[in-house]
């Protein structure tokens, strides 16, 4: 059964309806699903899962990858990261979500959008929203993580907000080294610069990543860029890669 608009737009409509009408997000999602011809949002989400972009993206990732996941606000980058986590857990792997922005209740809501249940996933999903999150903190927590664990970090630029932490470049380097040694897959959600012009370019690329301080993005092995419901996986090139925008004090 086809949808009237892409699923990411339906998710956005449900969020807006929830806020406007003062109803739980799960109820707003179910209303949208019934409008689309499904008995519930979970049925709509499971039907779409067979066509999931996240499934194809996860197939292209390997243990040791350090992945950048970038999009402008409202284009579903965090949801895509969570979808990668859910798909990985379905395949029998563990997963972890480190967020300096998202609360546990917000995570539960976002998982509901995907038709997933936080409680049902909790045995295999570690959630950490500590203010102490940085590369060293994450690495210490993952010291016994099984090979193939998918780790979502939300988000790259916030790792750079505390002066007491190592530089962003040092933190990304540490995560890269740990990923290769431990065989985990890091996915770091990233902001895209406001100057990105979507009419002139269908998807952002490595040159559009917003950086508060200098960072060699070629430390990432792969990058996923999103815009208007489209996501594309790219292999990050070496020194030939164009330099990203650098905005001192942009946060």
Is the confidence at residue 148, as pLDDT, over 80? yes
Is the confidence at residue 83, as pLDDT, over 70? yes
Q: What is the DSSP string of 88-156?
A: HHHTT--EEEEESS--HHHHHHHHHHTT--HHHHTTTEEEE--TT-SHHHHHHHTTTPPTT-EEEEE-G
Task: Name the region of 96 (left: φ>0; alpha: ψ -120 to 50; beta: rest).
Answer: beta
Is the confidence at residue 238, as pLDDT, over 80? no
- Please tell me the distance from the alpha carbon of residue 99 to that of residue 12, in angstroms, as a whole number: 21
Is the confidence at residue 59, as pLDDT, over 70? yes
Predicted confidence (pLDDT) per residue in 42-57, tens digit: 888 877 765 578 888 9
Lowest mean pLDDT among 18-22, 68-72, 235-239: 235-239
Per domain, the residue ranges of the chain are 7-48, 53-235
Residue of 218, 222, 212 whose CA lies nearest to 245: 212
Is the confidence at residue 244, as pLDDT, over 80? no
Q: What is the DSSP string of 2-59?
A: --SS-HHHHHHHHHHHHHHHT--HHHHHHHHHHHTT-SSHHHHHHHHHTT-HHHHHHH
Predicted confidence (pLDDT) per residue in 99-136, tens digit: 999 999 999 999 988 888 999 999 999 999 999 999 99
pLDDT-based confidence at residue 240 (cuts at 50, 70, 90): very low
Mean pLDDT of the chain: 89
Predicted confidence (pLDDT) per residue in 167-209, tens digit: 999 999 999 999 999 999 999 999 999 989 767 788 999 999 9
Give the model's pLDDT for residue 250.
30
CATH code for residues 53-235: 3.40.50.300
């Amino acid at each position: 059964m086809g949808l009237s608009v892409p699923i990411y737009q339906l998710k956005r409509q449900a969020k807006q309806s929830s806020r406007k009408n003062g109803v739980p997000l799960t109820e707003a999602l179910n209303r949208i699903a019934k409008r689309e011809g499904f008995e519930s949002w979970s049925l709509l989400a499971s039907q779409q899962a067979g066509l999931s972009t996240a499934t194809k993206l996860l197939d292209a990732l390997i243990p040791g990858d350090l992945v950048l996941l970038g999009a402008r606000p409202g284009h579903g980058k965090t949801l895509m990261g969570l979808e990668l986590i859910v798909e990985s857990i379905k395949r029998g792997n563990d997963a972890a979500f480190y967020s300096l922005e998202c609360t546990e209740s917000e995570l539960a809501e976002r998982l509901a959008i995907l038709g997933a249940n936080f409680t049902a996933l909790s045995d295999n999903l570690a959630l950490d929203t500590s203010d102490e999150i940085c590369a060293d903190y994450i690495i210490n927590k993952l010291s016994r993580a099984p090979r193939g664990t998918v780790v979502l970090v939300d988000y790259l630029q916030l790792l750079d907000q505390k002066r007491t932490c190592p530089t962003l470049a040092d933190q990304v380097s540490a995560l890269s080294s740990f990923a290769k040694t431990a065989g985990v897959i890091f996915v770091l959600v990233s902001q895209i610069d406001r100057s990105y012009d979507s009419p002139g370019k269908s998807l952002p690329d490595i040159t559009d990543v917003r950086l508060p301080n200098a960072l060699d993005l070629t430390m990432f092995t792969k990058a996923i860029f999103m815009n208007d419901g489209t996501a594309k996986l790219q292999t990050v090139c070496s020194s030939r890669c164009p330099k990203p925008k650098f905005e001192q004090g942009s946060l």
